[in-house]
Amino acid sequence: MGKKFIVTAIGKDRPGFIADVSGLIYENGCNLEDSTMTSLSDEFAMIFLVEGPEEKPEQEPLEQRLLKECRRLEKEKDISAFVRPIRTGTPGPRKTTVSETLHVEGLDQAGIVYKISRYLADRNINISNFSSRMSRSPETGAAMYGIDIRIEIPKGVTRESVDDGLMKIGNELHVDISVG
């Protein structure tokens, strides 16, 4: 088993963006294990989990080769790409009792993400996935904000206490927060 890396890339959304970044992974003998990608405004962002081949002593280390390729993408394609090595091994079992999804909807305003994520962090509730979007109300044209957050509630934290705390935040921000 080779080394694992997280490769992130951000740049102008255009045809060929994914091909440019996945090309550097393929050309260096790496295997793409997992990914998430999205378009934000007119920018495109991606995160790849890749595993590289076993390194040979006569070769330049894979991490160095990937970093050079990232710099090449910056110069030639205007893509900001980064490589981060990660520890290999099987992750241990998470000490959670339940995974839930939070849904948040309301008028767009500063502080929604911060107040909800701070509340969760203070209770040792992990966010495993986060997706948000801004849209316009068809009736008024007002900016509306929606969030879907996948959370992992640890042992010792009751669902009722989570619901109560989120309801207080929802009331303070005048947004609807539901768990389920």
**CATH class given for the domain over 96-179:** alpha beta
- CATH node for 4-86: 3.30.70.260
Alpha carbon of 179 to those of 28, 111, 131, 159, 166: distances in Å? 43, 20, 15, 9, 9
pTM score: 0.79
Q: How confident is the model at residue 94 (pLDDT cuts 50, 70, 90)?
A: low
Cβ count near 112 (within 10 Å): 21
% residues pLDDT > 70 (the chain): 94
Q: How confident is the model at residue 19 (pLDDT cuts 50, 70, 90)?
A: very high
Compute the average pLDDT of residues 116-137: 95
Compute the average pLDDT of residues 67-78: 96
Helix boundaries (H) for the chain? 17-27, 62-77, 112-122, 159-173
Q: For the chain, how long is the longest CA-to-CA vector? A: 66
The domain ranges of the chain are 4-86, 96-179
